[in-house]
Amino acid sequence: MMVLAPGESFIASAPGYTGTPEIQEAGRLITITVRVVEENGWTTYPVSNMIQIASSSLTWTTVLDSKKNLVSGDMEFYVRFMKPGFIYSITATDLEGTYAPAFSNPIPVTATGFGNTAIADYLKYGVNTAVRGQGNIHIMDVSVTNPNSGGAQYVFTGITLTAGAASNSVVGNVVITDAAGGTLSVTAWGSSNTVFAPVNLSITPLQQVSIRVYYDILASAPSGAFNSSIASQGDIYLQKLDGTLVYSEPAGAAFPYAAEQINIIETNTNIGFYNYPNPFAAGSGTTTIQYYLNRDSKVSLKIFDLISRKVKVIVDDEQQAGGTLHKYTWDGKNDDGKTVVNGVYYSVIKINGSEQHYTKIVVVK
C-alpha cells in the first residue's frame, strides 16, 4: 500500500494516521514523503516502482522532481504552493499500476504578512531572421505577479539576459518597454555574454505587471544564429521596499525563458532570398518567403512549378522600400485557391525589371 506521510512541514492523511494539515505559507518549500508500507505491520519496504506526484492546481504549484523511484521504501518530494487563498491537495500515482493512488488531506495556503514570492511567466515571439542594423525586434514579454492578498509591495528592478555564446556580437541595445509601449530603459549589451536591463516597476498585492523586450541588431553583426534567454529565476530581479529580495516562480514554462533563435542573414539578395520552413505541408502549414532590399525598388514575387507554369503571384510589380526585410507567407494554394500537389516549386523575385533571383520551395503533405 502506498501512502503520503507527514513531511518536514506537511501533514497528510495516511492509513493509521489522523491529523489536521497545517496552514502553509505561499511560496514556501514543502516536503512531501511518499512511502510504501506493509498493510498489517505498517512497516516500510523498498520497491522498484516509479512514483509521480501531482497537485490539484497545476498552474499555481511548482513540483520539484515529480518522478522518483521508491528503492528506499520512502522518498521525499518538494513542492511550492504559490497562490494564497487556495486549498490544495497532492496525489501520488504508481506509474507501473501496482499500487492504488494515495491522496493527501486538503492543504490550505495563506500569505505571510510580508509576501516572500512572486509568479513569473513569459511569451516569446517568432523572429527567425534579421539583418544587420535592424532595430526594434520584439523578442519576448515577461510578466510578474505579486500573488499575496496583502502585505508587501514589490519592485520589479530588472532582468538579466544571457547570450547562447561566450560573448555577444549581435545585439547592440536591449530596449525594455511597459505593456503600453512606454520606454523603461535602453541598455547597450556590449561584448559580455550577459546584460542587465533595468525595469523599475512597482507591483502591489494581487497586481500583475508586464514588460516587453526588444533587440537592436548591430550593423557589424556576423551572419549566423543568435540565441538568448533569461536563464533562471535569479535573473528576474524583485525586491521589497526594504530591499529584501523576492523569489520568482514560473507559472507556465520552466526556466530558462528562451527567446526564439535569430538568424542574421546577408543583405545580398542572392544570399538572403529564401523561405522557411522548407519543406512545408501545403494545406495544413505555411512557409515564409523573405528578402532584403538595399534600396527602394520595384518588385515582383511569383511562384512557378518545375515546367515554368505560374502558380501564385505574391507581389505584382510593387514599389517597395529599401533598407527593409520583407516577408510574405504562402499557404501552398495557387491563384485559384486550390492546394498545390506535392513537389518542387520555385519562388522568383524580379527587382527593377532586370535583377532576378530564385529559391527552391519543397511542398509535402
| C-alpha cell read off for 200 | 523599475
Sequence spans of domains, the chain: 2-110, 117-265, 269-364
Burial (0-12, 13-18, 19+ Cβ within 10 Å), 64: exposed
Report d(CA 69, CA 235) in Å as an integer.
32
pLDDT tens over the chain, length 365 residues: 555 543 322 223 333 333 445 677 766 778 888 888 766 666 777 888 898 999 888 767 778 778 888 888 778 888 877 666 778 888 888 898 888 888 888 888 775 544 568 899 999 998 778 888 889 999 999 999 998 877 788 999 999 999 999 999 999 999 999 999 999 999 999 999 999 999 999 999 889 999 999 999 999 999 888 999 999 888 999 988 877 778 788 887 889 999 999 988 877 787 778 898 999 999 889 999 988 888 899 999 999 999 999 999 999 999 998 877 888 999 999 999 999 999 999 999 999 988 999 999 999 97
- CATH topology classification for 2-110: Immunoglobulin-like (2.60.40)
Side chain identity at 54, as an amino acid letter? Answer: A
- Which CATH number fits the domain 269-364, given the four candidates 2.160.10.10, 3.40.50.970, 2.60.40.4070, 3.90.79.10? 2.60.40.4070
Comparing C-alpha atoms, which of 30, 52, 35, 51 is closest to residue 108? 30
Kindly report, residue by residue over 143-160, the tens digit of the pLDDT: 999 988 777 889 999 999
H/E run at residue 225: strand 224-226
pLDDT the model gives residue 32: 84
pTM of the model: 0.58
Domain 117-265 has CATH 1.10.3720.10: no
* Percentage helix, strand, coil for the chain under 3-state DSSP, each rounded to 5: 0, 55, 45
Domains 2-110 and 269-364 share a fold: yes
